[in-house]
Structure 1
Amino acid sequence: MRPLVRAFALLALALPGLACLTPGADGPAGEPVGSFVFEAQLEANECGAAAVPAMDPFTYRAELRRDEGMAIWRRPDAPVVYGTIDTEDTWTLSTTTTIPVWEPDPTTGDPGCALDQTETLSFRVVEGEGSPDAATTQATRVEGGTQEIRFIPSIGTNCSAALRVTGGPFDTLPCSVRYTFDAEPTAPLFD
């Protein structure tokens, strides 16, 4: 496997970032809103399937918590992510990580390639009324969710060899992978 293709195969493992790997402190904070099963459908993959083999659909579980205007996204075996909640109960969470694709080569002057991957989730939390005889005690819903995973070449790097026109896997850079999602309540993920 060519090194460039191998690097992008590893990049695919980073998707979906917020669903699997995210920065933040471990541990609960704020008041629980509920645990949910998220089902995401692929809307667009501008990067191309060779560069980002995006799953469609994909399902994951997360717990939502709130602390006044702070949104808290919590998954088993993953760090906590913090975001904001606006006055209309729209939650926005974002995280950025840099993915080294290939190292600089001082002998050729190649500055290397690294991609800044920014993942942003936005959705509305709709409070419902719980029912004691319901299968779950949570009647809150998540609606109108969007997830965007954006790849931008890092400042000071040159990722032109990653483009399909030069033999790389990316259709274009920068590029985005976009999903829409809703979520249904599920049993609590944490004690």
Structure 2
Amino acid sequence: MATGNLIVLTGPSGVGKGTILRSLLQRHPDLYLSTSVTTRTPRPGEVHGKHYYFVTRAEFDRMVVNNELLEWAEFAGNCYGTPRRPVEEQIRRGRWVVLEIELEGARQIRRTFPEALRIFILPPSMPELEYRLRSRGQDSEEAITRRLKRAQAEVDAADEFDIQVINDDLDKALERIETVLFAPVGV
């Protein structure tokens, strides 16, 4: 990993992106995780500046107007975005930056950074994804319905990504991602 680059991790809500990402970062601390900005309310245990930068809609809109975000999207009634400056700074330093973002943001990154490695995490099935969303116990029935509808559209777009990984077994999913990231060139 001599030169900096972007790794974009995308997939439907509830697919296990966060679990995969935490494991990947634990095993490879040289990767830099970009902290996103969001207008949503913090979930229990989430810390401002660590999990997200929680901002008002007015603050978010100002960031968009001032071109302070690499990408941004509205999802499930809330806005999410990637602060530009820290990502560009880390890439200049030669680090690989990981973005955990939604489909619309990933599409924007494809246009802005075509050299980014784009990975889509798929659920084993839609019924399993519904089970995972309900098991979290964090969303209303309305939010779950919205997330499932959106998830189907996201899954339908998986072929837009460089790599698709089915998260039916965490160790296998991690192994596949590590093979892509760390395999010697030409293998």
Q: TM-score range by the shorter chain?
A: under 0.3
Q: What TM-score do you get using the length of structure 1 for normalisation?
A: 0.25
Q: What TM-score do you get using the length of structure 2 for normalisation?
A: 0.25
Structure number with the higher strand fraction is 1
Higher relative contact order (CA closer than 8 Å, sequence separation 6+): 2
Larger radius of gyration: 1
Structure number with the higher helix fraction is 2
